[in-house]
Chains A and B, each alone.
Chain A
Amino acid sequence: MNALASSPPESPRPNATKAWGDYQIEVVVGYLLRYGVMISASIVFCGACIYISRHAHEPANYSIFRGEPSAYRTVPGIVQGALHSRGRGLIQLGLLCLIATPIARVAFAVVGFALERDRLYVVFTAIVLVVLLYSLIGSGLKF
């Protein structure tokens, strides 16, 4: 990082004096994202250990596209697989958490802008949230 990065995080932002400014939202959201990624990566790693220990010597073949079975592409399927501590089910659960992380970030921004009483940006972030939820739920992912 450059010299600027080593300056204290409380940089003199114009709205840093407000109780709920853009900068405060950003900081909380930044940590939310980092922890989300760390938790997802840990779940994926646990699943990887189980998966490798059980299937290490089977042949790997990804040259033909078959599409995943429903156990790896629907939320109940993924949760079921993870509960039975199946390696690949656990990996998919971690990936689901990963996809949910930026969605949580947008949801948090809606709340943040509402606290700032910024109606225009509550609407903007809500639109983004609806698109994201539609993609995850409405696009064929069955619950």
Chain B
Amino acid sequence: MTILTFTVAVAIVSFVAGLLGSLTGLGGGVVLVPLLTVFFHVDIRYAIGASLVSVIATSSGAAAAYVKEGFSNIRIGMFLEIATTVGALLGAYLAIWMPTATIAIVFGVMLVYSAYIARRPRPPELRNLPPDPLATRLRLNGSFPDLSGERVYNVQNVPAGFSLMFGAGALSGLLGIGSGAVKVLAMDQAMKIPFKVSTTTSNFMIGVTAAASAGVYLSRGYVDPGLVMPVMLGVLAGSLVGSGILVKAETKSLRLVFSVVILVLGLQMLFKGIWGRI
């Protein structure tokens, strides 16, 4: 393949990944690494570097739109970023030391888990929880505009959420993904943050988390300009188009299709890792 055809092909695939990722809310980054390694035979280290950089682009590009909705909680975000950035730094160092086959296996498990999270029905939101002393001291509780006016929420289980976020950061740094699935686990399940607040806050955090490991990746030579260029521009364009168009009726079936794609790619990564063909 010449550089021209390679660049165009990677840009198209990245555009579709960014588009589907933003339409379904599952994030495009998670499919990029398997697509690049399985179909374009890119070394997993280059693929992780490219994916990580494009994660920063989509997260930061969407931030202005999310802020206007008034759902995100900057204090929750900033407090948990202490955990995610330290985790991401650790994950990036782990990626340098870890054999690529092991990284592929971890990646496969993560993809299968993401597909499961995407298909599982969301448990009903608990409202009017009592204030947690630690969350109150950290001023994490907040409110957001709901259909019936301003809705107040109280954050729970701060230590559990903080630890899970450390894990989410480490996975992000190791695999070059936003690790939205783990962040949802920490914020929805452990900390009982309302869904709208947790998704927008998590989007905000993803860019900062990725920046923490991007420095390490750049200095270790994982960020190749020729590869990152079509990936980053493609994903960014795809996600911007995706957030601009509205296909409410189709989202459900799209989510199903995309989660099946994630599952298949996850199994493929697992097998490639186990049989050492990576």
Contact = CB atoms under 8 A, between A and B. Distances in A.
Interface of A: 1, 4-5, 7, 9, 11-14, 22-23, 25-27, 29-31, 33-34, 36-37, 40-41, 44-45, 47-48, 51-52, 55-60, 62-69, 72-74, 87-89, 91-92, 95-96, 98-99, 101-103, 105-106, 109, 118, 120-121, 124-125, 127-128, 131-132, 134-137, 139-142
B207 A102 contact: yes
B218 A95 contact: yes
B31 to A, nearest CB: 18
A124 B78 contact: yes
B82 A98 contact: no
A5 B233 CA distance: 26
Given A52-B4, A67-B221, A99 B45 contact: no
Chain B: interface secondary structure? helix
Nearest to A138: B215
A68 B221 contact: yes
Interface of B: 1-7, 40-43, 45-46, 53, 56-57, 59-61, 63-70, 72-75, 78-79, 81-82, 85-86, 88-89, 92, 138-139, 143, 145, 147, 150, 207-208, 210-216, 218-230, 232-233, 236, 243, 246
Contacts of A87: 225
B13 to A, nearest CB: 14
B168 to A, nearest CB: 15
